[in-house]
Amino acid sequence: MSALQRTRLSKVQNSVGRILAEGLVGPWWLTSLRLIALLFGFFSASVLAGSLSNVVPTRTITAFIAVGVCELHVLFRQVFCKNSVPLHWRLLDNLRIGFVYAVILEAFKVGS
């Protein structure tokens, strides 16, 4: 008998645990590729935000468009990959997550 009852919260905890375990186990090169893609997405958004601050007067709209284009990636992935997600789509997901995180962090730094 399990110590926890089968509630919705325990199901969510189990599914999150499985997702995290899938991301952390595996060959070292796969984990390093995922981390490099995440950091490259963060770096590219930081550079983009810094360079666009001098060129475009409305950074808020530019950031909104950039995040919208990144989120279109999720739509395309659902259309093209029905069953399993290949490695290049997972790397693009990590790139997108890093990009969106950096844009949100930049928004908090600016205060908008």
Mean pLDDT by 10 residues, the chain (112 residues): 75 88 80 90 86 73 81 81 79 88 83 66
pLDDT for residue 37:
92
pTM: 0.69
Beta carbons of 59 and 107 less than 8 angstroms apart: no
Please give the Cα distance from 17 to 2 (Å, whole number): 17
Please classify residue 102 by burial: count the beta carbons closer than 10 Å to its beta carbon, then call 0-12 exposed, 13-18 middle and 19+ buried. Answer: buried
Half-sphere exposure of 8 (CA within 13 A, CB side): 0
Q: Of 61, 46, 57, 52, nearest to 100 (Cα)?
A: 46
